[in-house]
Amino acid sequence: MKAEILALLRERKDYVSGRELSERFQVTRTAVWKSMNRLKEEGFSIETRQNRGYRLLAAGEVFGKNELESRLRTKWAGKNLKYYAELDSTNTQAKKEAEWGAAHGTLLVADRQTAGRGRRGRGWDSPADTNLYFSLVLKPAFPPAQASMLTLVMAHSVALAVAEESGLEARIKWPNDVVVKRRKCCGILTEMSAELDYIHYVVVGVGINVGKQEFPPPLREKATCLDLESGREISRSVLLAKVLLHFEEDYAVFCEKGDLSGLMESYNRLLVNRGAQVRVLDPKGDYDGTAGGITSTGQLTVETAEGKRVEVYAGEVSVRGIYGYT
């Protein structure tokens, strides 16, 4: 009920009487009063005035379960939300939850990760009170061969949400990064449990650099954060709500088509590599070329210097700009 009260107070932007709240949520006035006190204890600035009721005052973000739930407007993504002040990794925990029977759309959010992970087992620095770390449990009906494309679906959703909330031009660096001003602000890690022809679950993990922070020397030239680039504080809870809204829409298109054909045009417009000279780092041998768009199944097309068109699969291959990260 506390999340619903928050959402109502935020929407009303004025006093709401205890009587209205008790009638709306079918609880006693005492229960309303107790809920308000708990919200105040969590850090929310709520003004109480006799004969007028309760009013939510503008204040800094109180990041937590109630704040997150009060922002969500999705149909299924995040309806089962688990929030942790600290966790080793949202993806690791999400896989455990999925094994234990977590429903499709279960969302895990952490304020801090002690063992955040990126692609190929790389670490992801995850300080508290700064960034957005979350994982979404999916239990799709499509075959395992399609699951890898969900990384691209989420990248598209994140890029749209970042642009919408921050006002920045967010682009996608194939296959799993979102960049602003040619620097990485988001990474995505997708993991799956499946049999030959059946998916048990897919976990899509996302880390977005939001608050101002110092990056270690190896990352300073290629990483950034939204607060720094936008010049203002971005709400992590609002951003997450917008990512999930876009993902629900994009996921529906993906499931209907069975591939990325319904998102391909929009994705390619956001692709920072498109038309750029890139170096493909392939275990079989590196080569240079000009990046095109993605195919309907998520491969990046690259035209080599010899004029050969190659479809690059993510897997063990990386793509870098000739003169830098993008």
Q: 3-class DSSP state for residue 206?
A: strand
Q: 3-class DSSP state for residue 233?
A: coil
Residue 175: cis peptide before it, omega within 30 degrees of 0: yes
* CB within 8 Å of 96: residues ≥ 6 apart: none
Confidence of residue 278 (pLDDT cuts 50, 70, 90): confident
Torsion of CA 251, 254, 257, 258, to 10 degrees: -110
Q: Is the CB of residue 226 less than 8 Å from the CB of residue 180?
A: yes
Residue 185, pLDDT > 90, answer yes
Which pair of tokens denotes residue 38? 């708990």
pLDDT at 23: 92
- Parallel/antiparallel/unpaired status of strands 107-110 and 81-84: parallel
pLDDT at 249: 98
Which pair of tokens denotes residue 236? 């992590």
* CA-CA-CA-CA torsion sign (8, 12, 14, 19): negative
Average pLDDT of the residues in 24-53: 92
pLDDT at 1: 87
Distance of alpha carbon 39 from alpha carbon 25, whole angstroms: 16
Average pLDDT of the residues in 121-127: 66
* pLDDT above 70 as % of the chain: 94
Distance of alpha carbon 296 from alpha carbon 303, whole angstroms: 17
Distance of alpha carbon 77 from alpha carbon 241, whole angstroms: 9
Distance of alpha carbon 298 from alpha carbon 186, whole angstroms: 19
Q: Is the CB of residue 280 less than 8 Å from the CB of residue 319?
A: yes
Average pLDDT of the residues in 55-71: 91
Residue 311: which of 326, 321, 289, 325 has the closest Cα? 289
Residue 7, pLDDT > 60, answer yes
Residue 317, pLDDT > 70, answer no
**Mean per-residue pLDDT over the chain, rounded:** 91
Residue that wins the pLDDT comparison between 90 and 13:
90
Q: Please state which of the ranges 51-60, 128-137, 141-150, 190-199 shows the lowest mean pLDDT.
A: 51-60
DSSP, residue by residue, 104-139: TT-EEEES-BSS-B-GGG-B----TTT-EEEEEEE-
- The per-residue pLDDT for range 135-171, each reduced to its tens digit, is 999 999 999 999 999 999 999 999 999 999 999 999 9
Average pLDDT of the residues in 176-183: 93
DSSP, residue by residue, 58-99: P-S---SHHHHHHH---SSTTSSEEEESSBS-HHHHHHHHHH
Distance of alpha carbon 324 from alpha carbon 326, whole angstroms: 6
Phi, psi of 225 (to 5 degrees): -135, 160
* Helix, strand, coil content of the chain in percent (nearest 5): 35, 25, 40
* pLDDT above 90 as % of the chain: 76
Phi, psi of 103 (to 5 degrees): -75, 160
Quote the pTM value: 0.92
On the CB side of 17, how many CA atoms lie within 13 Å of its CA? 5
**Domain architecture of the chain: domains with CATH:** 2-56 (1.10.10.10), 65-270 (3.30.930.10), 277-321 (2.30.30.100)
